[in-house]
Structure 1
Amino acid sequence: MNLRQLVCRQTINNLSRVNGKLPSPYHHCIYRDVATITDPISPPFHSPNIHGNKPLQNPNCPKPDPCFSRYIHCTSGTKMSNSVGEPKLNSKESEEDGTMNEFLSRFVWIMRGKLSQVYPDYDKQTIDGMLLIIVGKVASEMEKDALEQMLGAAVATPSQDFSEDLWKTVWEVSNKVLDDMKKEKQKEKMKGFLQSEEVKEMCRFAGEIGICGDMLRELRFKWAREKMEEHEFYDGLVRMKEEVRAQEKEEEAGGKQAETMDNEAFVAEEKPNVVTLPKRQGKIRYKIYGLDLSDPKWAEVADKIYERGELIWPQEPKPISGKCKLVTDRILSLNEEDDPSPVLAEWVELLQPSRIDWITLLDRLKEQNIRLYFKVTELVLAEESFQTNIRDYSKLIDAHAKENRLEDAERILKKMNENGIVPDMLTATVLVHMYSKAGNIDRAKQAFESLRSQGFQPDIKVYNSMIMAYVNAGQPQLGESLVREMEARDLNPTHEIYMALLRSYARRGDVTPAGRIATTMQFAGFQPSLESCTLLVEAYGRFGNPDQARSNFDYMIRVGHRPDDRCTAIMIAAYKEKNLLDKALNLLLQLEKDGFEPGVATYAVLVDWLGKLQLVSEVEQVLSKIAELGEAPPLTVHVTLCEMYSKAGVEKKALQALGVLESKKDQLQSDEFDRIIRGLIAGGFVQDARRVHGLMEAQGFSAEDSLKLVLTASQASHGLFRRTPTMR
C-alpha cells in the first residue's frame, strides 16, 4: 500500500474517532492535500532517515511549554469542541483531560519538527496529514492503555501500522514529552516554595547584609529546594501512615481478601512506575487546538519562555559513569602535594563539564579534603567551561581568610585584578573582615574606603570588624568615630564594641574618652558591669588619679558588684603609683572584713611594690601567701625578685630568678628587660647584665640610650662596681 492510500485511509478512520469535528476549511485542506500526493517516487513515510543518518532533534525547534495549550488555539479557527450532547466532565476528569491535552500538544509540537526535518520538501498540509495519522494511532493506544505499557518498556516495541524507525521515534518523543511534563510539574511546585514566606524572609535578611545578584539567586533556590524536600519528606511520611492504616484494615477484612490484595499490591510494585498518564475508563476526551504551529511568533514565544526557564530553574549535573567515574574517584583521592592538573584535564575531556558539574565536584572535594579543595578551585577558576565570575573569586578569598591563609587569599585577589575584575561590595566586605582579623590596618582601611566609594553603606559586621582593627592597632579614637557614624545611621553598636573601646582607652590612661564611652553605654541601655567599672578604675589609676579611681571603685560596690581579685589589684596598683601604702593597706583590711580574700593578682602588685622598697622579708611573706594558693606566680613577680635580690646582693636567689626569666625570655617585654638589666648592674652582676642585653636585642627590642650608657660605664669600671655578694 502506497503512502497516498495509507494517508487517505488512516485520515478517514482517525477523523471519525476524534471528539467533535474539524471546521470545514481545515477539513477540506487536509483532504485536498492528501489527494494531491501523486508522486510515485516520494519517500515512504517510514523512511529510515527518520532515525538514521539525520539527527532526529532539530536544534532550532523551540522547547515545549505548558502554556502552549493556551497559545495554539489562537492561531486559527480550527479548535475542536465537544459534541453538544456530550455530558460535562467532573473536576477529576477535567484535570485528566488537561493532562491529556498537554501531552498531545507537546507531542504534536515536537513531532512536527522531526517530520519537517526528515521531509523538508513536503508542504505544511502534507505534514499535517501525517501528524493526524500519528496522533490518531497514539490516541488509540492511549485509549486501551497500550501506550503506557510501550513507554514503560526499555526499548520501543514495533507496531504493525508503522515502520520500526517511525514507531521508535514516536516512542522517544512520547518519553521526552512525559519527562518534560514531569519537570514542568516540578518547576511549578518549586515556584510555590520560591514565593513562600520563609524563603522571602531569608532573602530579605540576605539582602540586608549585602548579598545580591547571582549569589542571592543561588541561595534562594537552595532554600526553596530544601523547603520542598522537607515538604516532600513529610508528605511521604503521611502517605506511609495512610498505607499502613489501609493495610491494617485489609488484614482485618479477611484472610482471602487480604491475600488477594497483597498479591495485587505485589504486582503493582513489580510494575515499573515510569509513566504518569491518567488511568481512564471509557473513551478519552481530548482536545487538540489545531495542528497549525508554523506561525513564527509562537516559535519566538517558546524560545523566550525556554530562556527564562533556564534562568530561574537550576541545571542538573551530568550523570557520571564508566571511565569518567574512575577519573572522578582519582581526583577525590589526591593528596594536597599532588598536581591535579593532568587528572582534571582528563576529566574535562571525558565529561565536557558545565558549571554545575564543576560545582558538584568542588562541593565533594570541600567535604573530603579542604586543602585539596583550595588547590583545585584555584585551577578551576581558569577553566572556560566553569564560567568564572566575581562571586567565585570572593568565595575563595573568604574561604582562605576563614582558614587564616592570608597569603593565599592575597594571591587570589591578585589574579582577580590581573583578569580585569574589579572587587565589588561583597569582595570588599570579605577583605575588610580578613585584614581586620590579620591586623593589617592599612589594607583594611583601604577595603573599607572602597566600599564607601562604591556607594555601599557598611553593615554592622563591617563596622565591628573595622572598629576592632582600629582598637587592635592602638587607634581607638578612629574606632570611636565609626561608632558615632553608626549611631547617626541608627545602627546600634554591640556591647563588645563599646567594651573594646573602653578597654583600649583604659590601658592608655585616657580618662576623658573612657568616661565618654561609659556614659554612651548607659544611654544605649547597657548597665554598668563589673568589667566596665574595673576599666574605669584602671583608666584613672594609669592616669595617676588614685582618688578618682577609688571613687569609681566605691561606686561599683554601691551598684551591687563585688570586687574581684583583678579589680582590687588594679586599685592597689593605682595607690602604688603614688606610693600611698597606708591607703592600700586600709583598703585591703576593709575588704577582708567584708569577706574578700586576695588572689595572685593582688599579691603580685604587693610584691612589686614592696620589692621596689627593698622590703625583702615582707616580700617573702607575700610569696608564701601565693604558694598557699597553689598557683604559679606571674612573670612580673620573677622580674621583681630578680631586681630586688640583685640590688640586695643576694646572688643565689637573684640568679635563680634570672634563670626563670631566661627560660621565658620570649614572654618578656622591653620595659621588663630594662628593669632586669638595671637591677643586675646595680647589684654588680655586669656580665649577667650584658648577657640579658644580648637576649633583649635577639628578641627585637632596642635598649634606650640611658641604658646603653649605664652598660658602657659598668663595663669600663667593672672592678669598682663589683660587689661582694652577701647572704641574707
Structure 2
Amino acid sequence: MNLKHLIFRKSINHISKLSPKPASTISAAISTSLHSISSVQSSAYIKNPKPISPFIRCIHLTRETKLSYASVEANVVSGDSEDEDDGTTKEFLSRFVWIMRGKLSEVYTDCDKETINGMLLVIVEKVVEEMEKGGIQRMVGSKVAMPSQDFSEDLWKTVWEASNMVLEDMEKARKKERMKQFLQAEEVKEMCRFAGEVGIRGDLLRELRFKWAKEKMEENDFYESLQRFKSEKQEKGGNVLKEQAVAAEDTPAVASLPKRKGKIKYKIYGLDLSAPKWAEVADKIHEKEEMLWPLEPKPISGKCKLVMDKILSLKKEDDPSQLLAEWIQLLQPTRVDWITLLDKLEQQNPGVHLKVMELVLGEESFQTNVRDYTKLIDAYAKEDRVEDVERILRKMVENGIMPDSLTITVLVHMYSKVGNVARANDAFESLRNYGFQPDTKIYNSMMMAYINAGEPRQGEQLLREMETRNIKSSEEIYMALLRSYSRRGDAVGAGRIANSMQFAGFQHNLEYFALLVEAYGQAGDYDQARSNFDNMIKLGHKPDDKCTANMIAAYEKKNLLDKALNLLMELEKDGFEPGIETYTVLVDWLGRLQLVDETEKLLDKIAELGEVPPLKVHVSLCDMYSRAKSEKKALQAVGVLEARKDELGPNEFERIITALCAGGFVQDAQRILQLMEAKGFAASEQVKFSLSASQVFSQKRPKT
C-alpha cells in the first residue's frame, strides 16, 4: 500500500512556488472544489479510514531524517514559544490531515495532488482558527456538527466526524502507550516470573501479563483521581461537588484537546512513504503490536445479536451446536470473539458454559491451545466429573496436544479428591518426569489420597521429601497422618509423627494426646498411653469421654481392672463424668469377665444418659449372655443384631458365632453364619471348626 504524506502551505502563493501551475489556476481549482464539496452527501466522508500505525506516525512527526525525501514547512501564525501541549496538537493535526486527504481523494478522483493540497490547506486553516479560539472542543464535543458560514453543512459535518475520530484514536493510542509502561512495572514482572516458575507459558502468560498491567493502570488512575479530587476540594472548598456534577453533564463523550493559550505554532514535515520497504516495515510492526495489545471483539448487531441472545438463554439440556453454527456464519469470529462469548456464558448461564466450551475447542477459528483444554478439565474436575475429564484428555491427545504440568496438577488434585490413589500417583510421577517440583498443595493432596486409602506410610514418605526440600506442611496433614496411625494401632508410626510435630513447632492440643493414647493403647503399651494421658492433664487439657475410654481400653488389653477403676475415681474427683464411650468399653470388659450384674448396672447408667447404645454394646451383651447360657437374653441380643446386620463387620460376625457356639445355640450360630456369607464375608477356619464341633457335640439348650 502506498502512503503519501500531506504537503500543504499556509498560503496559495506558497503552494504556487512548489507547483508549475499558476497561482490563479490553483485558486480557481480550490474554489471550484470547495463549492463541489458542499453538494456531496455526507456519506462520502464518513467511511472509516485505515488507522495510522505508530510507526508511520513516528516517521510522520520526525524532524531530523537522513533520507532524501522532500520536506516542506508550513508555519501557521507563530506564537511566542511552544508549550507542553504542542506535541498533542501536532499529532491531532497530522492525523486529521491524513484522514481528510483520504476523504477528498475518494470524492475527487480527477484532481491532482496540488489541488487536493490546496483544499486541505483551506480546511486546516479553518480548524486551526477554531482551535485558537477554543471552539474546536465545543465542535467535537457536540452530538451534531455546528453550522459554519465558510463551509457547507455537509463539509462541516465531515470535519466534525473526522475530528472526533482523530480524538478517539489519540485516546486509544494514549492508553496503549500507558499500558506499555505498566507492562514493564516491577510488580507485573515479579508476577510473570512467579507464573513462569509454576509452569505458565505462552499465550496464557501473555494474557495474564496484560491483565495484571491493566489492573495496575486502573489502580494508578484511581489514586490519581483521588489526589486530583483532594486538590480541587482544597481549592474550591465546599462547592466542589456541585461544580463537578455540572462539569460532568457538559463533558463530551470523546477525548478533548488541551486548552490553548495564545496562538498555535504548527510545523509539519512531508515524507514520501511510497517505497515498498516502508509498507513491509509497517506490517511487521503491526504484527508485533497485535501480540502485545489484544484485539477487540467485533461489534455484534442485528441478526447476529439475536442468535447470540438465544445462545445465552439456552437451557442445560438444549443442544447449542446449531445456534453456534449460525453464529459462526454470521460473525466469522476470531479467538477474541469466542472468548467474549464464553465469558458472557460463564457469567449469565453457567449450566451451558461447559457444554459450549467443549464444542468451541473443535473450532479452527478458536485457535485452541493446551491452556483451553486445561481450563475445561479443571472445571470438570471441580465438579468431580472424572469420566468427562478423561474424555477431554483423550480428545486432547487425539488432536496432537499433550498435557503439560498445569494439566497434570489438576489431575493430581482431582484423583486425590475422589480417592483414586493409583491414578493420582501416576499423575504425580508424570509431573516429576516433566521436571516440575510439586508445591505444598500438590504434596498435601497426594498425602491425603494415601491417608484416605489407608496407606499412611506412603504419605509419610512424601512428608519426609517435603522436609528435605525445606517445605513446611500444614498441621492438618500431620494430624491426619497421626490419626491414621492411631486407628491402625501403629504406635511406632504415631510416635514418629508426634516427634516431627514437635520439631515443626506445632502446639499440642487435646486431640494430639488423645490419638497418642489410642495408638499406644491399641498396641498394648499402657505405660506410654498413661504417660501421654498424664502429660495432657499437666498441660491443662481436660480429658474427654473418648480419650478416657481409650485409656480404659489400654488397661483392658492387660486386664488391669484395678488400675482402670482407680483412674476413673481420680477423674471423678476432678469433676469428670463418664459418657457413652467409657461405658461401652466397661460393658465389653465386664461382659468378657462374666460379671453380669455389674454389666447390667452399667446398662442402667447408659439408659440414664438418654442415648441409644452403640452396636458394640449389643455385641458384648450377646457374647456375655450366650456364654452365661441365658437363652432369653441371648436371643434378644441376637434379634437386635439381626435387625442391624448391615452395620456388622467380619470381626463382629465371628465373635457372635463363636459366643453362640460356646453357649450351645448352634442353630442360631448357623443362621448368623448364613447372614455373614450373604454379606460377602468369609468365615475363618477357627469359626468353621467351632461351629462344626458344636453341631457334633450339641447339647440341649438350658432353660432360664
Preserved CA contact (<8 Å) 1:499 1:532: yes
| RMSD, aligned α-carbons | 4.5
Output aligned runs, 1:254-333, within 5 Å. 269=249, 272-280=252-260, 282-296=262-276, 298-333=278-313
Preserved CA contact (<8 Å) 1:69 1:102: no
Shift of the 401–687 alpha-carbon distance from structure 1 to 2, 3 Å rule, reads farther
- In structure 1, the gaps of 5 or more residues are 1-6, 17-26, 253-257
Give the equivalent residue in structure 2 for 1:31.
19
Secondary structure class of the residue paired with 2:403:
coil
Structure 1 residue identity aligned to 2:520 = Y
Structure 2 residue identity aligned to 1:355 = R
Preserved CA contact (<8 Å) 2:489 2:520: yes
CA distance in 1, matches of 2:353, 2:307: 16
Structure 2 residue identity aligned to 1:99 = T
CA distance in 2, matches of 1:438, 1:267: 60
Give the equivalent residue in structure 2 for 1:78.
71
Give the equivalent residue in structure 2 for 1:176.
165
Farther-moved stretch of structure 1 (134-143 vs 306-315): 134-143
Give the equivalent residue in structure 1 for 2:513.
533
Secondary structure class of the residue paired with 2:612:
coil
Preserved CA contact (<8 Å) 2:346 2:353: yes
Shift of the 328–234 alpha-carbon distance from structure 1 to 2, 3 Å rule, reads farther
Match of 1:396 among 360, 376, 383: 376
Structure 2 residue identity aligned to 1:593 = K
User: What displacement does 1:322 show?
Assistant: 4.0
Preserved CA contact (<8 Å) 2:619 2:652: yes
User: What displacement does 1:467 show?
Assistant: 1.7
Residue 94 (structure 2) pairs with residue 105 (structure 1): yes
Output aligned runs, 1:230-629, within 5 Å. 232=221, 269=249, 272-280=252-260, 282-296=262-276, 298-629=278-609
Secondary structure class of the residue paired with 2:268:
coil
User: What displacement does 1:400 show?
Assistant: 1.6
User: What displacement does 1:443 show?
Assistant: 1.0
Structure 2 residue identity aligned to 1:78 = S
Preserved CA contact (<8 Å) 1:467 1:479: yes
CA distance in 2, matches of 1:267, 1:474: 70
CA distance in 1, matches of 2:533, 2:239: 81
Structure 1 residue identity aligned to 2:341 = L
Preserved CA contact (<8 Å) 2:486 2:494: yes
Match of 1:88 among 81, 88, 93: 81
Output aligned runs, 1:107-146, within 5 Å. 107-109=96-98, 135-136=124-125, 138-140=127-129, 142-143=131-132
Match of 1:670 among 625, 639, 650: 650
Shift of the 130–53 alpha-carbon distance from structure 1 to 2, 3 Å rule, reads closer
- Please give the per-residue CA displacement for 1:259-318, whole angstroms capped at 9, x wherever unaligned: xx99xx869836743351233355333232324344555544543443333333344444
Shift of the 426–121 alpha-carbon distance from structure 1 to 2, 3 Å rule, reads farther
TM-score (norm: length of structure 2): 0.82
Give the equivalent residue in structure 2 for 1:4.
none
CA distance in 2, matches of 1:293, 1:405: 59
User: What displacement does 1:608 show?
Assistant: 1.9
Structure 1 residue identity aligned to 2:85 = E
Shift of the 176–439 alpha-carbon distance from structure 1 to 2, 3 Å rule, reads same
User: What displacement does 1:532 show?
Assistant: 2.7
Shift of the 304–660 alpha-carbon distance from structure 1 to 2, 3 Å rule, reads farther
CA distance in 1, matches of 2:192, 2:644: 53
Secondary structure class of the residue paired with 2:11:
helix
Identity value in percent:
62
User: What displacement does 1:228 show?
Assistant: 4.3
- Please give the per-residue CA displacement for 1:357-378, whole angstroms capped at 9, x wherever unaligned: 3333333333344332222222
CA distance in 2, matches of 1:452, 1:410: 20
Residue 637 (structure 2) pairs with residue 644 (structure 1): no
CA distance in 1, matches of 2:131, 2:369: 49
Shift of the 663–174 alpha-carbon distance from structure 1 to 2, 3 Å rule, reads farther
Preserved CA contact (<8 Å) 1:358 1:386: yes
Structure 2 residue identity aligned to 1:176 = M
Preserved CA contact (<8 Å) 1:107 1:177: yes
CA distance in 2, matches of 1:229, 1:110: 31
- Please give the per-residue CA displacement for 1:399-453, whole angstroms capped at 9, x wherever unaligned: 2222222222222222212222111011111111111111111111111111111
Secondary structure class of the residue paired with 1:720:
coil
Question: Greater relative contact order: 1 or 2 (C-alpha under 8 angstroms, separation 6 or more)?
Answer: 2
Secondary structure class of the residue paired with 2:473:
coil
Farther-moved stretch of structure 1 (205-214 vs 528-537): 205-214
User: What displacement does 1:473 show?
Assistant: 2.2
Give the equivalent residue in structure 1 for 2:211.
222
CA distance in 2, matches of 1:547, 1:405: 49
Give the equivalent residue in structure 1 for 2:3.
none
Farther-moved stretch of structure 1 (652-661 vs 488-497): 652-661
Residue 11 (structure 2) pairs with residue 13 (structure 1): yes
Structure 1 residue identity aligned to 2:80 = P
Structure 2 residue identity aligned to 1:350 = L
User: What displacement does 1:456 show?
Assistant: 1.0
Preserved CA contact (<8 Å) 2:10 2:121: no
Secondary structure class of the residue paired with 1:95:
coil
Shift of the 515–310 alpha-carbon distance from structure 1 to 2, 3 Å rule, reads same
Farther-moved stretch of structure 1 (72-81 vs 211-220): 72-81
Structure 2 residue identity aligned to 1:534 = A
CA distance in 2, matches of 1:633, 1:642: 13
Residue 612 (structure 2) pairs with residue 632 (structure 1): yes
Structure 2 residue identity aligned to 1:468 = M
Shift of the 268–562 alpha-carbon distance from structure 1 to 2, 3 Å rule, reads closer
User: What displacement does 1:239 show?
Assistant: 6.7
Give the equivalent residue in structure 2 for 1:185.
174
Preserved CA contact (<8 Å) 1:30 1:129: no
CA distance in 1, matches of 2:410, 2:141: 53
Structure 2 residue identity aligned to 1:576 = E
Structure 2 residue identity aligned to 1:344 = L
Preserved CA contact (<8 Å) 1:425 1:456: yes
User: What displacement does 1:66 show?
Assistant: 6.3
Preserved CA contact (<8 Å) 1:69 1:101: no
Secondary structure class of the residue paired with 1:549:
helix
Structure 1 residue identity aligned to 2:438 = P
Structure 2 residue identity aligned to 1:720 = S
Aligned residue-pair number:
691
Farther-moved stretch of structure 1 (509-518 vs 440-449): 509-518
Shift of the 125–439 alpha-carbon distance from structure 1 to 2, 3 Å rule, reads farther
Secondary structure class of the residue paired with 2:517:
helix
Output aligned runs, 1:649-664, within 5 Å. 649-650=629-630, 653-658=633-638, 660-662=640-642, 664=644
Shift of the 430–13 alpha-carbon distance from structure 1 to 2, 3 Å rule, reads same
Structure 1 residue identity aligned to 2:377 = I
Preserved CA contact (<8 Å) 2:631 2:701: no
CA distance in 1, matches of 2:150, 2:528: 107
Give the equivalent residue in structure 2 for 1:19.
none
Shift of the 164–86 alpha-carbon distance from structure 1 to 2, 3 Å rule, reads closer
